[in-house]
Amino acid sequence: MSTFALLGTGDDPTGPRPPTTDEANRLALTRFRNYEAGGRALTITVPGTAGRLTVTGSVDFRTRTGYGVLHGTGRDSSTTGLIQWTPTTVRVLPMPDAPATAPATPPTFGWSTRPLQTSGSSLDTSLAIALNLAADRPDNPQLLPQNGATWLSRTTLNGHPTDVITGPNARGTNTTSDTVRYWIDPDGTMYRVQAALASDPQPVIVDFDTQPYAPVPGLTPTP
């Protein structure tokens, strides 16, 4: 697909303000870019009163599955291990000495399986948000500003020039939320999403391309 015009040089008025046509077009494309890519590497930073959780791994947007390694900050080692998830299921394999990145082939034994909670869990809500950051078609760029999409600022994130724009909510629907912020580069590629959580006063942050992408293994029945 074609690349949109490069970002400006900082002469734009300070936000918040309605997005320009180019900005709205890139916002409309950003979730479709993830679907086009098939899958991306990411790091999910999950807030919590007991300490932060970090999931380092990959998401397959076509099969809607995720896989990675879970580490806790300010928590005991019981929160460390491998994690796999879908929109309905979470599997965890505790590993007190978990590696920095998940092995390409997950161990067969030792997993516990539970339903993904739809409310009350910052971790589960964050996992669901990560799976919902793709769509099989672009959003409507005319409707996004009408629904409240707002340009906030321009910044460089990990070497990528990005616009920060509020946009489609992170629940898998086409509505717009002022509590979801997207960091988007000149061709509409998403590099960060920050979303408010009902279960915690701090937002979840999803950063993309934090390590090389590795294909996501399919979930297998727990022995």
Q: What does the pLDDT look like over 138-156, one tens digit per residue?
A: 999 999 998 889 999 999 9
Whether 8 shows a pLDDT value over 90: the answer reads: no
The enclosing H or E element of 53 equals: strand 52-60
Whether 77 shows a pLDDT value over 60: the answer reads: no
Question: Shortest CA distance to 4 belongs to which of 15, 166, 102, 21?
Answer: 21
Q: How many CA atoms lie within 13 A of 180 on its CB side?
A: 24
Q: What is the pLDDT of residue 78?
A: 59
Q: What DSSP designation does 79 have?
A: G
Q: What is the pLDDT of residue 200?
A: 86
State pLDDT tens for residues 19-63.
999 999 999 999 999 999 999 999 999 988 778 899 999 999 999
* Rounded Cα distance, 187 and 117, in Å: 34
Q: How many CB atoms lie within 10 A of CB 154?
A: 18
Q: How many CA atoms lie within 13 A of 29 on its CB side?
A: 19
* Rounded Cα distance, 153 and 162, in Å: 9
Q: What are phi and psi of 123, to 5 degrees?
A: -65, -50
Q: What is the pLDDT of residue 198?
A: 86
Local confidence band at 74 (pLDDT 50, 70, 90 cut-offs): low
Q: How many CB atoms lie within 10 A of CB 8?
A: 12
State pLDDT tens for residues 160-188.
999 999 988 755 555 555 689 999 999 99
